[in-house]
Amino acid sequence: MSVPTRASHPASRVGEERLRATQQSPFTVRLGWGELGARALVPTSDVVVVVDVITFTTSVAVATERRCAVHPHPWDDSGAAELAATLGVELGVSRSRVDAEHPYSLSPETLSRLPLGSAIVLPSPNGSAISAAAVEGGALVVAGSLRNAASVARFARSAGRSIAVIAAGERWSDASLDPALEDLLGAGAIIDGLRRRRRSPEAQAAAAAYLQARRQGIRRTVLDTVSARELSSRGYQGELEWTCALNCSTVVPVLRDGAFRAL
C-alpha cells in the first residue's frame, strides 16, 4: 500500500501554499496564482487585485464602466439564478445559453449593452472564487485587467501598503491550476504601475513579461494565447478585442457588500 505524500493531502497542500506565501512577506508587492494563492496571500495583504483577463475581470470592468453593480457567483446556474431572483437583478448565463430572455453572459461584449446603473449576477469558474476567497480574508478586493491596469495600480498604491496581485489562471478537468499567459500579462501590467514599492521576484518577473509583450504588441500576444485561441475556436472571437485593449478604461471596480462597483 502506498503512503500518501504531504502534497496529496488537501489540508497539507493549503498549508504548503501558505508557507510558500510567507516567503514573499518581505516584499510589499506580491504575485499569487489561483484561489489557493489568494487564500495564502490575503492574511498579509491590504489590497488584493484579482486578474482574470479572459474574461471575468474584463467583463467586470466593462459592466462597471456603465455604473453597473456586478455580483460575482461561483459557476453554478441554479444558485446564480436564485440569487438574481432574490436581488431582483439581471442574470448572466453561459455563452451557449444567451437568448432574448437572457442576453448577458461572461462576455464583455454582451455586458457592454447592460442598462446604465443596473445590476447583474455574474457566474464565473475562476475570478469569482478568487474574489470570494479574498473577501473572506478581509482584504480590499479590486478587479484588474489590461483595460484598467494603470488606474487599478494608482488606486492600489493609495489604498494600502501591501498589495497582492492574483493571476486567476485556468483549470484543468481535475480542477488543478493551468497558468494562463494573459493573466500573467494583466498582473504584470498592474505590477508595472506599482513602482517605488518592493516587488517580489515573482512580481518583478510578471512585470518583465508584460513589458516584453508590450514591445511585441499586447494585442497580438493576447490573441495568440491558448485561452484566446480556444475562445475563438468556439466562435466568440469578437469579444477578445475587449480583453486586450490596454488602459482604455479608468474604472476601478471594488468589491463591497457583495458586488463590484466603480469608485
Cβ–Cβ < 8 Å for 32, 164: yes
pLDDT of residue 12: 52
Number of structural domains found in the chain? 1
Give the alpha-carbon dihedral of 152, 260, 146, 125, to 10 degrees. 140
Task: Give the CA distances from residue 88 to residues 71, 229, 262, in Å, rounded to whole numbers and listed in that order.
Answer: 12, 36, 20
The answer to whether residue 123 scores a pLDDT higher than 50 is yes
pTM, to two decimals: 0.91
Q: Residue 12 falls within a domain, yes or no? A: no
Written as nine digits, the cell of 250 is 479608468
pLDDT in tens, 216-241: 999 999 999 999 999 999 999 989 99
Written as nine digits, the cell of 89 is 437583478
Long-range contacts: 199-207, Cβ < 8 Å, 24+?
Answer: 199/27, 199/28, 199/29, 200/24, 200/27, 200/29, 200/30, 200/31, 202/24, 202/30, 202/31, 203/24, 203/27, 203/29, 203/30, 203/31, 203/165, 205/31, 206/31, 206/165, 206/167
Written as nine digits, the cell of 247 is 488602459
**Among the listed residues 202, 201, 237, 204, the one whose alpha carbon sits nearest the alpha carbon of residue 222:** 237
The per-residue pLDDT of the chain, averaged, comes to 91
pLDDT in tens, 46-98: 999 999 999 999 999 999 999 999 999 988 768 999 999 999 999 999 998 99
Q: Residue 148 falls within a domain, yes or no? A: yes
Q: Residue 8 falls within a domain, yes or no? A: no
pLDDT of residue 175: 87
Q: CA 46 to CA 134: how far, in whole Å? A: 10
Confidence of residue 26 (pLDDT cuts 50, 70, 90): confident
- CATH number of residue 92's parent domain: 3.90.1560.10
Instruction: Report whether the peptide linkage leading into residue 55 is cis, meaning its omega lies within 30 degrees of zero.
Output: yes
The answer to whether residue 9 scores a pLDDT higher than 50 is no
Q: Residue 3 falls within a domain, yes or no? A: no
pLDDT in tens, 171-189: 998 889 999 999 999 999 9
Q: Residue 7 falls within a domain, yes or no? A: no
Could you write out the DSSP letters of every residue in 197-212?
S-B-HHHHHHHHHHHH
Q: Residue 16 falls within a domain, yes or no? A: no
Q: Residue 183 falls within a domain, yes or no? A: yes
Residue 52 sits in which domain range? Answer: 24-262
